Structure 1
């Protein structure tokens, strides 16, 4: 039995209701705003009722282009920084996610006075099916 699976957040190859938790730990920072709702729907689909979604992300109002690696192996990718209230709004207010049945249980700002503050949101998939 494996303890984890590796795959694409936009198309999880997991059965419905098959996992107890999804740690999206500084991974949504690579997903553009317009794709985040689809990713969160995938998380909801694979989570069991009552399952936990933990989201960690950089806090800022800007996104940056980062380069990783060097020489022939260098890659560039956008890193999307977001405000905690905006991500919470995706989880609480957005019609598609309210209907999906997530609720925010905790929101925490990390190192607010440092150059790269972060935030963590803990949410739970409702035990009741989406409307």
Structure 2
């Protein structure tokens, strides 16, 4: 739970696909479904959940997939009794 106006920093993989990851860092076995998302989809979900997006970035690197970062704040009016 975030206080009214509280910041949320969200990091994610950018893309449209989902893959099954079977090996983690150091070769450790795992079974995790990795979902990549576009910024626009996360903007919608954050807005629906009562957040306002303040900033966003796409991170690039020659050796890895695209990454995304979004900085958002919780709207005060979404907290019962807050009067915001």
Same fold, judged at TM 0.5 (above): yes
| Aligned CA-pair RMSD | 2.4
**Superposition deviation, residue 129 in structure 1:** 3.5
Quick check: 2:9–2:71 contact (8 Å CA) kept in 1?
Answer: yes
1:98-113 correspondence to structure 2 within 5 Å: 101-111=50-60
Gaps of at least 5 residues in structure 1 are: 1-45
TM-score norm. by structure 1 comes to: 0.51
CA offsets, 1:33-66, max 9 Å, x none?
xxxxxxxxxxxxx111111111110011101100
**Superposition deviation, residue 111 in structure 1:** 0.9
1:70-109 correspondence to structure 2 within 5 Å: 74-92=29-47, 94=48, 97=49, 101-109=50-58
Stretches of 4+ aligned residues off by more than 3 angstroms: 112-115
Q: How many residues are aligned here? A: 78
TM-score norm. by structure 2 comes to: 0.76
1:1-131 correspondence to structure 2 within 5 Å: 46-68=1-23, 74-92=29-47, 94=48, 97=49, 101-111=50-60, 116-130=65-79
Query: Relative contact order (C-alpha < 8 Å, sep 6+): which is higher?
Result: 2
In 2, the alpha carbon distance for the partners of 1:62 and 1:56 equals: 17
